[in-house]
Amino acid sequence: DGGITQSPKYLFRKEGQNVTLSCEQNLNHDAMYWYRQDPGQGLRLIYYSQIVNDFQKGDIAEGYSVSREKKESFPLTVTSAQKNPTAFYLCASRAIQSNQPQHFGDGTRLSIL
Amino acid sequence: DQQVKQNSPSLSVQEGRISILNCDYTNSMFDYFLWYKKYPAEGPTFLISISSIKDKNEDGRFTVFLNKSAKHLSLHIVPSQPGDSAVYFCAASDHAGNMLTFGGGTRLMVKP
């Protein structure tokens, strides 16, 4: 089955620790995205990547870092510099050439204890 | 400053009737608009889109209308079904599908 896999579904970390959220896709999509959703709000773009080894900041990149070493994978690190990291994190991917919409994974809920 | 707004946080509709969800935007550079449906603890699922060269796009029970002069789009669901109960997000982009800006969502409840 083709799709986007985010793991784990729930993640707990102590304050001050960095944490990395996994996103893998087997759709052969070139572009991948990370969003954050807070309760009662829409999704906000953190980072995106249109090609391997290249990525751009979105609207709320501060306190986050990403890497794109493989086409299939786009991990997001929430660093200790992120002031309010507790949120629902969503990864998406898209086939740029065919002008398709973004497809989303099922998200990771991160809670900082 | 929100560039995409969904002013109704919730909407309740009787099964079989029409659901109309509204979305306003301020950025004139947006030329591609999408609607996503989201259940709790899941990722959004793409529903329907429209480019700025059209004013209507239909897919089964779902129709999206775009009024560029008013910077307004709406999603019509008819007939509404209980399974349509979810949060609906509109999103906009200045390139087809990249750099999406989302509205805050509208929770639709369809009562049997």
Task: Work out the minimum CA distance from A79 to partner chain B, whole angstroms.
Answer: 23
Q: Is A67 in a helix, a strand, or coil? A: coil
pLDDT at residue B97 in the model? 61
Q: What is the mean pLDDT of chain A?
A: 93
Tell me if chain B has a CB within 8 Å of the CB of A90. Answer: yes
- Which of A40-44, A89-93, A100-104 has the highest mean predicted lDDT (pLDDT)? A89-93
Mean pLDDT score, B24-45:
93
What's the pLDDT at B44? 94
| Mean pLDDT, range B29-44, rounded to an integer | 92
Question: Does B100 contact A at CB distance below 8 Å?
Answer: yes
Q: Nearest chain B residue to A46 by CA: give it.
A: B99
**pLDDT value of position A40:** 81
pLDDT digits (tens, 9 = 90+) for A32-83: 999 999 988 889 999 999 999 999 999 999 999 999 999 999 999 999 888 8
Would you state the pLDDT for residue A2?
A: 67
pLDDT of residue A29: 94
Indicate the pairing of strand A10-13 with strand A108-112.
Answer: parallel
Q: Which of B42, B49, B104 sits opposite A42 (nearest CB)?
A: B104
pLDDT of residue A15: 87
Q: Long-range CB contacts (< 8 A, 24+ apart) of B48-53? A: B48/B75, B49/A101, B49/B97, B51/B96
> Which pLDDT band, with edges at 50, 70 and 90, does B96 fall under?
low
Q: Is the pLDDT of residue B81 over 60?
A: yes
More confident residue, B102 or A96: B102
pLDDT tens across A2-38, in order? 699 999 999 998 988 999 999 999 999 999 999 999 9
Flag whether residue B53 sits within 8 Å of chain A, measured between CB atoms.
Answer: no
Mean pLDDT, residues A88-92 taken together = 96
Share of chain B above pLDDT 90, in %: 88
What is the percent of chain A where pLDDT is above 70?
98
Outline where DSSP puts E strands in chain A.
4-7, 10-13, 19-25, 31-37, 43-51, 54-57, 64-66, 76-78, 87-94, 103-104, 108-112
Closest among A104, A110, A109, A108 to A33, alpha carbons compared: A104
Whether B40 shows a pLDDT value over 90: the answer reads no
What are the beta bridge partners of residue B24? B5, B72
**pLDDT at position A1:** 59
- Chain B residues 6-45 with CB within 8 Å of chain A: 6, 9, 34, 36, 41-45
Residue type, B3: Q
Whether the CB-CB separation of A94 and A76 falls below 8 Å is answered with: no
pLDDT of residue B74: 98
Average pLDDT of every residue of chain B: 94
